Structure 1
Amino acid sequence: MKRILFFGVMLLLAAAVSTSAYRAAALFGWMQTSHDFGRIQQSKPVTATFEFTNKGEVPLVIANARGSCGCTGVDYPKAAVMPGQTSTIKATFNAASPGAFNKTVTVESNAEGGIATLHIKGEVIR
């Protein structure tokens, strides 16, 4: 009798743990997370488009997306991206001074992991 009770409790505990461990989440499926502009002209804005698919089971909501400096503007979807839908984040870089650059775009969302980082780089010439 004790053995049956013990195994019954263990079975219930295992079921409870496996049920609570499963949590539906949004998930970014990026086509790419970096872009190399190569050589670009000074003071001529360039834009990188980062395409992604919500590979999760719940709507993906982007709370904020921002560049690592004032020279990088970011455009991101304000509406939820439904599971299976594809959307884009655009990063526009406007170089004020010549030289190599390496910038990031930080994306805050409800996706698994919470924060994603995108990278842009290149060289500004006169």
Structure 2
Amino acid sequence: MPVKNILVGFMGLMVVVTGLVFVVSKPKVETGETSADVGEIKISDAVTRDFEIKNTGEKPLQITNINSSCGCTSGKIIYKGFTSKEYSMHTQSGFVTEISPSDTAILQVTYRPASMPVYGSVQREVYVSTNDPDKSRLVFGIRAIVR
């Protein structure tokens, strides 16, 4: 077999292997539950639920922004003993933290109906932006019946 064919074959193999490394070596976000039904609550109540954000990829997962659908709902990240500020519709974060491969952070979502009084069935959401190329935006929701 001529040296030229061996060289071309080797270069082709390197392109494939390099491509596989780039495909595999990325952050990958996984979540458990993404919504919570808290049932009936009073307008004066505040309810909080925790949601897991796990990095199952090979590279650090960046949380790049947190905001919400309403000023009455906020989210904050808890990771390795650090708790971020609360962010909502009016306080978009620009917050950045990295979740190491195989690690899990907690998104704590709080709904305070008194700050934007609406009665009856209510659904509010918190949005989290990431650097996962397949899931760049996560949505977490709280449902309640406000009395």
1:86: which partner in 2? 104
In 2, the alpha carbon distance for the partners of 1:59 and 1:121 equals 31
In 2, the alpha carbon distance for the partners of 1:20 and 1:101 equals 46
Which digits, 9 at most, give the CA deviation of each residue in 1:47-102, with x for residues without a partner? 11101221111111101111111111111255321111121001111112211111
1:51: which partner in 2? 52
One-letter code aligned to 2:43: Q
Q: TM-score, normalised by structure 1?
A: 0.81
2:144: which partner in 1? 122
One-letter code aligned to 1:92: T
2:65: which partner in 1? 64
Q: Any stretches of 5+ residues in structure 2 without a counterpart? A: 79-95
Q: Give 1:17 deviation, angstroms.
A: 4.0
In 1, the alpha carbon distance for the partners of 2:64 and 2:58 equals 18
Q: TM-score, normalised by structure 2?
A: 0.71
Considering only aligned residues, what root-mean-square deviation do their CA atoms show, in Å?
A: 2.2
Q: Any stretches of 5+ residues in structure 1 without a counterpart? A: none
In 1, the alpha carbon distance for the partners of 2:46 and 2:127 equals 19
One-letter code aligned to 1:9: V
Q: Secondary structure at the match of 1:19?
A: helix
Contact 2:127 2:138 in 1 (8 A): yes
Contact 2:69 2:124 in 1 (8 A): yes
Match of 1:97 among 74, 98, 118: 118
Q: Secondary structure at the match of 2:38?
A: strand
Identity of aligned residues (%): 28
